[in-house]
Structure 1
Amino acid sequence: MGLVGDLRPERDQARALPQGVRGRGGLRGARRHGHPAPGDLRPLPEGARSRRALRPLHRVAAPEGARIRGRRDRPRGQPRHHHPRRRGEAISPEGAGRNGRMRIGSLEVGRGALLAPLCGVSTRPFRKICRRLGAAVVFSETVSADGLYLLNKKTLDLARFDPEERPIGVQIFGCDPERIAVAARIVEDLVRPDLIDLNFGCPVGKFVRNDKGAALLKDPPRVGRIVEAVVRAVSVPVTAKVRAGWDEGSVRTSEIARIIEGAGASLLTVHARTRSQGYRGEANWTWIGEAVRAVKIPVIGNGDVTDAETAEKRMAESGSAGVMIGRAAIGNPWIFHAIERRMTTGADPEPPSTEERLSVNHEHLAHQLEDKATP
């Protein structure tokens, strides 16, 4: 099966060889002619803030159900402007209606739940299953901006996806605005995702000790600089995922939401816990409602949504445009179908039979084996 943005080094190096040089010799041949191989550092020219790090690959059409409008109508380097609109238009549960759609910048997607970017879970095999079972958008595992900047092969592989996963967002984490912007440009040029998502919410210690993930919530101006740098570097919509705050004494959901919107993001996801909570305690969706009221871009709620009934209730209470599902999808990807059915028809589907569960398990295994065999 062909991959979107094939990252096989021989293909990329062959494109980069000078005129008259035959594309043979693999990585050693590329290095012999002065061309860096994947994993080699490609520094920016002195004084450059962000540039086209790699030559673009072919454009891939969006799948049925995802409509992209004017993807190239905003040249890179120009900020995305937000036009005032009536609150609730095409994003709130009431405004969108049962058959409504959600707009994320220039991308329109079906209404439903989004798959969260979970390390070790949101892999290509699992994303394919979730999309087939009704996830409106899926996100990659979180990908290191530093690894992308250095063109590390393992890091680049995390950003790779198959066409049937669209619409898909690649999530990037880091702390330096310029480096994250270059990393986002590399991802856009190599694999052409539908969205670039920025991680401001991961509570894991190795992230926050290095001023990444949720640690950035303690520095709202830097959050804004990161979003603005990425919006200027890429042409696809930029989204962000945050926690409600660092701890309960520093919850600043509305402030962070306004900063992210003002920097040009097209969608915001809020996990309704603080970093200090981790995954303990009950998610406080009041904080999500505060973010919804503070901005005009769509706000997605995340935290303790375990079934379609809860999703509908939380959206109605908070006014969020949708829900993001993380841990509740592990072992139960049918949750996306249930939420999609509830949103579009108001009815609940029959639970999956034993035969269907076995079939999906076999499908997942087949995808994993195929993925392992892909060079």
Structure 2
Amino acid sequence: MTDYLVLSLVLLGVLLLGGLGLVVPKLRRRSLPPEPEVDVRTEEEVAGPPVRAPEAERAPTGTLPPPVVEEPWVEAPPVERPEPTAGRLVRLRNRLSRSQSVFGKGLLGLLSRDRLDEDTWEEIEDSLISADVGVDATREIVDRLRERTRVLGTREVTELRDLLADELVTALDPTLDRSLKAARHDGVPGVVLVVGVNGAGKTTTCGKIARVLVADGRSVLLGAADTFRAAAADQLETWGARVGAETVRGPEAADPASVAFDAVRRGIETEVDTVLIDTAGRLQNKVGLMDELGKVKRVVEKHGPIDETLLILDATTGQNGLEQARVFTEAVNVTGVALTKLDGTAKGGIVIAVQRKLGIPVKLVGLGEGKDDLAPFEPRQFVDALLGADQFGADA
């Protein structure tokens, strides 16, 4: 019985082993999921190259420079070539219409009376004085005119006009040198210093002087030494750009003498013919401002002497202009006068008064608001314009 039990257990174990041998191969034949691969790359390799965001989407950082703002493109104005100034006063003489009413119509009307008695000669004197000729000059003109009229016994209007014209031209002293000393010499530019009181139209006239010089064939550089008005340098630069002239300027409230010095130095470097220096307008009774003008002159003269100092006078100021001219002459040795606003006043005789009182020739006259209404002064042409030459058959 025991043997039978052992045999049964043996058979049962064989059967179990055989069954296991059949089941295990089948399980091995089933597809197992692949084992995951191990990524051995670094984090930088996995991330790849950085992707740059568009400029507009990038977050600004404190280390980035500020964005560049491009200035709007502005087209430079075309360079103008003014016509030569020869004969300009003749072309502009109709601008003296108000002064013509005093001289041409008023004086000639008095001289053409049937009888030239004392009352008539006194009226002639009053007319000349009211035209700012000045008392001393008026007496000389009238005395000479009375004598010549009496000796010649002339009664014709044209002859009387010629006599009056001769006396006025003589009073203007045609022998004075009225040329602008603005030519290059000894390897340096001619230096022209422009001075004047507030409100005389100094900066505008300075720009017109530049046009006169360019019209006559000179190259010009402008010095904006009026540093008290922010708009003055801009205004002068605009005038210069129109004729292709460079402008040297400094910061607002800079030392005017320093700007003037730099302008002349730049003129020497660029070999221009003329350096034209605009100074700040000032009142002739302000001692400090006049001293400063003297400093500008001294500093500029470190480069060499100033060739021309032009005083800008407003013709409408009349006899007050004489005091202005005297004080400026003492400060900077004025060599010539540019008389502005002569078209808007009946005071054309101020030209005679300035010259007789100060011995300073009027070299330029302003006869309007146009850019080329500044004309070289010529006594005979000026007198003919005052007397209305065409009306009396005389040539201007």
- Pairwise TM-score range, normalised by the shorter structure: 0.3 to 0.5
Query: Which structure would you say has the larger RCO, counting Cα contacts within 8 Å and 6 or more residues apart?
Result: 2
TM-score (norm 1): 0.35
TM-score (norm 2): 0.34
Larger Rg: 2
Between structures 1 and 2, the one with greater helix share = 2
